[in-house]
């Protein structure tokens, strides 16, 4: 029966839902939220709630949830309800603490911190000591009996608030501070006494007034509202946006804001602050790992401004606190069933936990920790396979320095912050890194050398091959961020002096300038003079094999490699490739011995001449195929007929013109001139305005059928020869860039005819297939037709993305950065498959193709074939295989296994992000 009224309970539920709970309190052993509420409370807020519920010593406070941030992004302000709930939570906090925000003899001070669902270290803003003003600073001075500490806290607040909330440039404050240090002949910040800090405060206030035309806000409630809104705004700052883009985090999530009673690590020698990991995040070894600083505030440790002390030292200084910390963090690890990354503060000998979260780690550590945790009974094998991000397997493939070839001069040894090797030219700023690193074919390896990195350096860190810092520990910004990027980093190399002003690095009495070469060993922390070469890594690590052996049984997709020459095919097999999904035969023609014949073939003006040149190419190409077939014994090898525009094999038009002009001026009678002029004429004839959409792909084989003929002959002669030796060969001849059935039929007819000819001549047959690449939207649309002739499909998603978007593969970088910055595109569609558009074509073409030919083999061989999210999509669509470059084979294998395992286990990959 239809009813127009809801039962009572339903009404209650609806009403509850409409009054959104924006603010979640934690403190006094109880929290409104819990550890599962990362969507609402962010990672930090959920962790604080969970730790509070577990009875751990957490300073009380409240979390304003991400909904409020999204509201702020939409309307540039939050609703009255958010303000109301915040005031209510503050009143509760004041009650629990028996203090008033910024008032009375014992004023309550709070920290205001960001905290999104996925950790974004240092990308957003934080304000400490909020609640201090001209009055409360005096109370704090009295209460702590430490006026220096009180004034220092106040000047830090004005500086942080001024910079983050009022958007006053940091150097304006630094100038005041440095001038005061100079005036008082103070070496260190801590050398400034209370009186000097009071003067700094007065000057800081002037800076605020100058910039904002208003006084520094004295009302603590006003401070809180302004700070909260600034943290919300920081979600949209450039570095946060950039970080989200490279880490594939949605812009729509928003951040939560955590307001928490301050505890002070800078109250003297019985106070301190630190960060740590329950296992070593670089190697995965089970050891208590971390760093701390006595008499310091939180940001001092993570920013890398002072080099901290190893956490084991804490046992000597404060054994009870140390034991309590060990006990708590061990419990946390068991509770979360994952390695924890925690932050703590000791105030006057009392320990407080400020944060816990699943720790970021290198690929090596991820594998080791996952295996340890299975052995310890903390997680299952199925869970373990999700504890490693497929891209992290690169770490097993990172190069090592080749130290045999040259004399190794170690300049300094820092911390092995992120493994691998990096060889590059020094740059001193992030902008310089971007400028010097270049892109495309003109890439230069650069190493970013900094005293310490800050979140502002992220764009430089992204393009650098390695990072070197002279300050900071294993948890410094540089270390954490590079580990996430899988990039080599040596941090805290204290013997090195980085002088940013003069752009110099001084070490061991030597001076290094921008452009000088150095080599880094991120696995041992060594900084080496000069340009060493690097050695390929080994992919047969026993622990890696173990994790793979747990993952692989789930995998449904086959994983092949894109390889053109026997050496790459051998490498691919070592990484577990199950065949070749794309052999780009044009790469075979680029070889020194082949290029002249290739040029002769292109320059030929008659078919006869062309055939003569092709005859020379035939044995050379056959030899390469023999090598590839042997390497892939037992597995299929997909060989693509010639694809690129012919002029790619000829010299550049501009270069020829210059050479001719020079010769005409210097040696006008040189016989070479005539040849050069002929060559130029042919180059000009072949010139195309849009070669990527021009005379390439099957269009070449159709206009010059003798090319396809020669290639088919080389393939089948090689196949027959190795088959006679006992090698199991399965050639799959692939026709590129088809758009119509007739194109496919035209080329298939040539291949089939040549196959029959060769089999007859050699009196030996091999099994083979003839198929096509789907690289054009039209081909996807008429896939059912094309499948009448094509025995397999392979999606060339590089071209399919190009032709679906209408973006030029080669020129897209003129547009892409703006598109990403504006959020018009979330990701580079040439890197991560565009499921919505290109993916739809893939799904449709697969379905249509299989309607015609139910057992149609379908794969993908564009760059996306080795990218985890694209591999997951290929699994979901039901492709037979993915094919990627040899170094991505491991990644693709794990990504394919995870995709199938999450289907089967109905789990959402419990990955750590």
Q: Using CA atoms, how far apart are residues 893 and 557, in angstroms rounded to an integer?
A: 8
Question: 584 touches which of ligand PEP, Mg ion, none (CB within 5 to 8 A by kind)?
Answer: ligand PEP
Q: Using CA atoms, how far apart are residues 892 and 883, in angstroms rounded to an integer?
A: 8
- Minimum CB–partner distance for residue 696 and Mg ion (Å): 9
Q: Is 505 helix (H, G, I), strand (E, B) or coil?
A: strand
105: left (phi over 0), alpha (psi -120 to 50) or beta: alpha
Structure tokens belonging to residue 100: 């008033």
Q: Which among 402-410, 582-590, 759-767, 791-799 is the span making contact with Mg ion, rule CB under 5 A?
A: 791-799
Based on the number of CB atoms within 10 Å of its own CB, is 448 exposed (0-12), middle (13-18) or buried (19 or more)?
buried
Q: 276, 460, 862, 886: which one contacts ligand PEP (CB under 6 A)?
A: 862
- Minimum CB–partner distance for residue 577 and Mg ion (Å): 20
- Minimum CB–partner distance for residue 642 and ligand PEP (Å): 11
CB nearer to ligand PEP: give 452 or 799. Answer: 799
Q: 796, 829, 859, 868: which one contacts Mg ion (CB under 5 A)?
A: 796
Tell how far CA 201 is from the center of its chain.
41
Binding mask 612-651 for ligand PEP (x = CB under 6 A): -------------------------------x--------
Q: Which among 81-89, 432-440, 443-451, 795-803 is the span making contact with ligand PEP, rule CB under 6 A?
A: 795-803
> Is position 861 annotated as part of the catalytic site?
yes
The closest alpha carbon to 119, from 367, 480, 392, belongs to 480
Based on the number of CB atoms within 10 Å of its own CB, is 459 exposed (0-12), middle (13-18) or buried (19 or more)?
middle
Question: 718 touches which of Mg ion, ligand PEP, none (CB within 5 to 8 A by kind)?
Answer: none
Binding mask 130-169 for Mg ion (x = CB under 5 A): ----------------------------------------
- Minimum CB–partner distance for residue 882 and Mg ion (Å): 16
Q: Using CA atoms, how far apart are residues 291 and 275, in angstroms rounded to an integer?
A: 6
CB nearer to ligand PEP: give 124 or 563. Answer: 563
Binding mask 745-784 for Mg ion (x = CB under 5 A): ------------------------------x---------
The closest alpha carbon to 560, from 583, 578, 573, belongs to 578
Q: Which among 50-58, 96-104, 753-761, 791-799 is the span making contact with ligand PEP, rule CB under 6 A?
A: 791-799
> Is position 477 annotated as part of the catalytic site?
yes
Q: 40, 383, 799, 867: which one contacts ligand PEP (CB under 6 A)?
A: 799
Q: Using CA atoms, how far apart are residues 870 and 877, in angstroms rounded to an integer?
A: 11
Question: 582 touches which of ligand PEP, Mg ion, none (CB within 5 to 8 A by kind)?
Answer: ligand PEP
Q: Which of 69, 477, 583, 647 is catalytic?
A: 477
- Minimum CB–partner distance for residue 582 and ligand PEP (Å): 6
Q: 152, 799, 863, 872: which one contacts Mg ion (CB under 5 A)?
A: 799
Tell how far CA 436 is from the center of its chain.
21
How, if at all, do strands 636-640 and 415-418 pair? unpaired
Q: 50, 457, 709, 775: which one contacts ligand PEP (CB under 6 A)?
A: 775
Q: Is 558 helix (H, G, I), strand (E, B) or coil?
A: strand
Binding mask 568-607 for ligand PEP (x = CB under 6 A): --------------x-x-----------------------
Q: What's the first-to-final CA gap in the chain, in angstroms?
A: 49
Q: Where are the alpha helices (DSSP H) in 730-781?
A: 741-762, 777-781
Contacts 24+ apart (CB under 8 A), 101-105: 101/131, 101/220, 101/221, 101/224, 102/130, 102/131, 102/132, 102/133, 102/135, 102/136, 102/220, 102/223, 103/135, 103/136, 103/220, 104/139, 105/139, 105/142, 105/143
CB nearer to ligand PEP: give 480 or 582. Answer: 582
Question: 237 near 124, Cβ under 8 Å?
Answer: yes
Q: Which of 489, 698, 861, 874 is catalytic?
A: 861
> How many residues are given for the chain?
913
Residue at token pair 């696995």: 523
Q: Which among 25-33, 215-223, 433-441, 793-801 is the span making contact with ligand PEP, rule CB under 6 A?
A: 793-801
Q: Which among 271-279, 483-491, 706-714, 790-798 is the span making contact with ligand PEP, rule CB under 6 A?
A: 790-798
Does residue number 797 form part of the binding site for ligand PEP (CB under 6 A)? yes
Q: Using CA atoms, how far apart are residues 563 and 579, in angstroms rounded to an integer?
A: 10
Q: Using CA atoms, how far apart are residues 541 and 487, in angstroms rounded to an integer?
A: 20
Q: Using CA atoms, how far apart are residues 358 and 277, in angstroms rounded to an integer?
A: 9
Strands of the 504-507 sheet, one edge to the other:
497-499, 504-507, 510-513
Question: 461 near 451, Cβ under 8 Å?
Answer: no
Does residue number 796 form part of the binding site for ligand PEP (CB under 6 A)? yes
CB nearer to ligand PEP: give 591 or 823. Answer: 591
Catalytic amino acids? 477, 861
Which residues of this chain interact with Mg ion, rule CB under 5 A?
775, 796, 799
Which residues of this chain interact with ligand PEP, rule CB under 6 A?
582, 584, 643, 775, 796-799, 861-862
């Amino acid at each position: 029966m239809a009813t127009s009224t809801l039962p009572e309970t339903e009404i209650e539920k609806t009403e509850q839902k409409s009054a959104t709970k924006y603010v979640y309190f934690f403190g006094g052993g109880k929290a409104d939220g819990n550890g599962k509420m990362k969507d609402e409370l962010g990672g930090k807020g959920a962790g604080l709630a969970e730790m509070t519920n577990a009875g751990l010593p957490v300073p009380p406070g409240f979390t304003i949830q991400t909904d409020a941030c999204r509201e702020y992004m939409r309307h540039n302000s939050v609703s009255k309800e958010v303000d109301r709930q915040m005031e209510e939570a503050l009143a509760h906090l004041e009650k629990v603490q028996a203090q008033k925000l910024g008032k009375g003899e014992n004023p309550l001070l709070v920290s205001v911190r960001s905290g999104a669902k996925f950790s974004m270290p240092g990308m957003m803003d934080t304000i400490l000591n909020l609640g201090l003003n001209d009055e409360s600073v005096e109370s704090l001075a009295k209460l702590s009996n430490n006026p220096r500490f009180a004034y220092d806290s106040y000047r830090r607040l004005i500086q942080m608030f001024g910079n983050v909330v009022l958007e006053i440039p940091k150097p304006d404050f630094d100038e005041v501070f440095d001038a005061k240090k100079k005036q008082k002949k103070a070496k260190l910040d801590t050398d400034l006494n209370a009186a000097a800090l009071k003067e700094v405060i007065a000057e800081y206030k002037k800076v605020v007034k100058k910039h904002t035309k208003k006084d520094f806000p004295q009302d603590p409630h006003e401070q809180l509202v302004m700070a909260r809104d600034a943290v919300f705004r920081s979600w949209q700052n450039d570095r946060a946006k950039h970080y989200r883009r490279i880490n594939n985090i949605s812009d729509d999530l928003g951040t939560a804001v955590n307001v928490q009673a301050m505890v002070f690590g800078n109250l003297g020698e019985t106070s301190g602050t630190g960060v740590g990991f329950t296992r070593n995040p670089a190697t995965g070894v089970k050891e208590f790992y971390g760093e701390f600083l006595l008499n310091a505030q939180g940001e001092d440790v993570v920013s890398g401004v002072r080099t901290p002390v190893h956490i084991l030292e804490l046992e000597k200084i404060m054994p009870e606190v140390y034991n309590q910390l060990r006990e708590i963090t061990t419990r946390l690890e068991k509770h979360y069933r994952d390695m924890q990354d925690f932050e703590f503060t000791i105030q006057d000998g009392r320990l407080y936990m400020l944060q816990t979260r699943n720790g970021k780690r290198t690929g090596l550590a991820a594998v080791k920790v996952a295996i340890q945790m299975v052995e310890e009974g903390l997680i299952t094998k199925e869970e373990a396979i999700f504890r490693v991000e497929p891209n992290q397997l690169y770490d097993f493939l990172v190069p090592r320095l080749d130290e045999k070839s040259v004399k190794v001069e170690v300049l300094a040894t820092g911390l092995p912050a992120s493994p691998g090797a990096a060889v590059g030219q020094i740059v001193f700023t992030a902008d310089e890194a971007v400028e010097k690193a270049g892109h495309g074919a003109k890439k230069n390896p650069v190493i970013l050398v900094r005293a310490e990195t800050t979140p502002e350096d992220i764009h430089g860190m992204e393009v650098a091959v390695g990072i070197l810092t002279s300050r900071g520990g294993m948890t410094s910004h540089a270390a954490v961020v590079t580990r996430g990027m899988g990039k080599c980093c040596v941090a805290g190399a204290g013997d090195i002096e980085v002088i940013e002003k003069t752009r110099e690095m001084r070490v061991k009495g030597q001076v290094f300038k921008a452009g000088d070469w150095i080599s880094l060993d991120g696995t041992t922390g060594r900084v080496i003079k000069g340009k060493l070469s690097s050695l390929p890594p080994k992919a047969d690590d026993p622990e890696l094999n173990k994790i793979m052996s747990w993952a692989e049984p789930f995998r449904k997709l086959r994983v092949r490699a894109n390889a053109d020459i026997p050496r790459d095919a051998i490498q691919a097999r070592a990484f577990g490739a199950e065949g070749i999904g794309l052999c780009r035969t044009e790469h075979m023609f680029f070889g020194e011995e082949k290029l002249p014949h290739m040029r002769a073939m292109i320059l030929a003006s008659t078919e006869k001449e062309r055939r003569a040149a092709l005859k020379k190419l035939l044995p050379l190409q056959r030899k390469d195929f023999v090598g590839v077939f042997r390497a892939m014994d037992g597995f299929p090898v997909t060989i693509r007929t010639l694809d690129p525009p012919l002029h790619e094999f000829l010299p550049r038009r501009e270069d020829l013109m210059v050479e001719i002009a020079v010769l005409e001026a210097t040696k006008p009678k040189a016989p070479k001139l005539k040849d050069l002029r002929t060559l130029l004429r042919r180059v000009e004839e072949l010139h195309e305005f849009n070669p990527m959409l021009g005379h390439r792909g099957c269009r070449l084989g159709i206009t010059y059928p003798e090319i396809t003929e020669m290639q088919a002959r080389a393939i089948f002669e090689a196949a027959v020869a190795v088959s006679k030796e006992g090698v199991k060969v399965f050639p799959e001849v692939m026709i590129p860039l088809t758009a119509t059935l007739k194109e496919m039929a035209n080329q298939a007819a040539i291949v089939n005819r040549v196959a029959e000819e060769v089999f007859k001549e050699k009196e030996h047959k091999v099994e083979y297939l003839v198929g096509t690449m789907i690289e054009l939207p039209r081909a996807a649309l008429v896939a059912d037709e094309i499948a009448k002739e094509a025995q397999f499909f392979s999606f060339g998603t590089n071209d399919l993305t190009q032709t679906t978007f209408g973006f030029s593969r080669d020129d897209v970088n003129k547009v892409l950065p703006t598109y990403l910055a504006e959020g018009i595109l979330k990701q580079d569609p040439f890197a991560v498959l565009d499921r919505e558009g290109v993916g739809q074509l893939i799904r449709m073409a697969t379905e249509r193709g299989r309607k015609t030919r139910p057992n149609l083999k379908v794969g993908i061989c564009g760059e996306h074939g080795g990218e985890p999210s694209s591999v997951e999509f290929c699994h979901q669509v039901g492709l037979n295989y993915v094919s990627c470059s040899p170094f991505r084979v491991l990644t693709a294998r794990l990504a394919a296994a995870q995709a199938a395992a999450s289907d089967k286990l109905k789990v959402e990959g419990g990955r750590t992000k």
